[in-house]
Structure 1
């Protein structure tokens, strides 16, 4: 269980990035975070990853407080961030230096097979397309068997066809070990394709505004009536989140969510 308890973040210049975030995510659930610009989605992910410190509240994984990078919490960034001096297999196995060589090689080979890159194991990152590089970063995150996986808009720079292909690879890897997943996205279709639950955030300061459950069987057809209905519910929740609440009417208007 990932438990985010009354979490707030205020920066040194007084900017309130997050306020009173309460979110419990059971093991194995995929939660998409979506909301207007400035609502603190990436800040929340950085706090859960232990890359930044909260001003108030706590983050716990199975009862253990997270306040620094944790071996059971993986992170996939918007950019692949591969090491150019290592080949594909070396990048995927980079965090497994303490694992016996035979086991490390077997885990790397399996992860590369699951993302369709077995034949590219000895290629250099510069020889790969953008989509292939992001597949390597996803394999690298899963090969460590994280209990929590955080994804910060990992597919936003890719074309629609490549993005949908990577959704399939991501879900295939997730199905093997069922880590808890938090994914930040601006793409409603992506949220519908991947998530069990969509959490809509309201900006300035960032806080949780609404939740849309997606009890849909996988794989999901984006053209299916159930997927289109889910997308409409999310869009309606987003629209509400960008309207000033009574307590926010003197605040600066929110930016568009996209």
Structure 2
């Protein structure tokens, strides 16, 4: 269980990025964080990854506090961030140095096969397309068997066809070990395609505004009535989140 309790983040210049975030994510659930610009989605992901410190509140993984990078938490960025001096296989194996060589090779080979890049194991990152590079970064994240996987808009720079293809590869890897997944996205269709729950955030400061359950069978057809209904529900929640918060009613007897 990933547990986030009363989490807030205020930067040195006084900007309050997050306020009072509370979220429980059971093991194996995929949660999409969605909201307008400036609502703190990436900030929240960085805090869960241990890359930044919260101003208040706690993050726990199975009861263990997270305040620094944690071996049980993997992260995939918007850009692949591959190491150019390592081959595809070398990039996927990065971080597995403590494993016996045979196990390391077996894990890497399996992960590359699952993302459709087995034949590219010996190639260099510069020889791959953008979509192929992102497949390598996804394989690298899964090969370490994380308990929690964080994805920060990993498909936003890709065309629609490549994005949908990568959704399939991501879900295939997830189905094997079922880590908890938090994915930041601006794409409502992506949230419906991947997530078990979409959490809508409100900006300035970032806080949770609504949650939409997505109990749809996989694989999901975006044109299916259930998917279209879920899309409309999330869009309506997003619309509400972007409106100014209603002022509290004035007590006529305040004096």
Whole-angstrom distance in 2 between the partners of 1:64 and 1:5: 13
TM-score normalized by the length of structure 1: 0.96
> Match of 1:246, SS?
coil
- The 5 A counterparts of 1:97-176 are 97-176=97-176
Whole-angstrom distance in 2 between the partners of 1:246 and 1:210: 15
- The 5 A counterparts of 1:3-22 are 3-22=3-22
What residue in structure 2 maps to residue 2 of structure 1?
2
Report the CA distance shift for 1:247/1:100 in structure 2 as closer, same or farther (over 3 A).
Answer: farther
> Match of 2:53, SS?
coil
Whole-angstrom distance in 2 between the partners of 1:152 and 1:94: 20
What residue in structure 2 maps to residue 207 of structure 1?
207
What residue in structure 2 maps to residue 181 of structure 1?
181
Whole-angstrom distance in 1 between the partners of 2:247 and 2:153: 30
1:246 is displaced (CA, Å) by 2.1
Deviations 1:23-47 (A, max 9, x none): 0000000000000110000000000
What residue in structure 2 maps to residue 49 of structure 1?
49
Whole-angstrom distance in 2 between the partners of 1:87 and 1:77: 19
Whole-angstrom distance in 1 between the partners of 2:187 and 2:176: 25
> Match of 2:182, SS?
strand
Matched, 1:228 2:223: no
Matched, 1:246 2:232: no
> Match of 2:78, SS?
coil
Q: Following superposition, which runs of at least 4 residues in structure 1 exceed 3 angstroms of deviation?
A: none
Alignment length (residue pairs): 248
Greater gyration radius: 2
Whole-angstrom distance in 2 between the partners of 1:27 and 1:211: 18
Return 5+ residue gaps in structure 1 as ranges.
Answer: 249-258
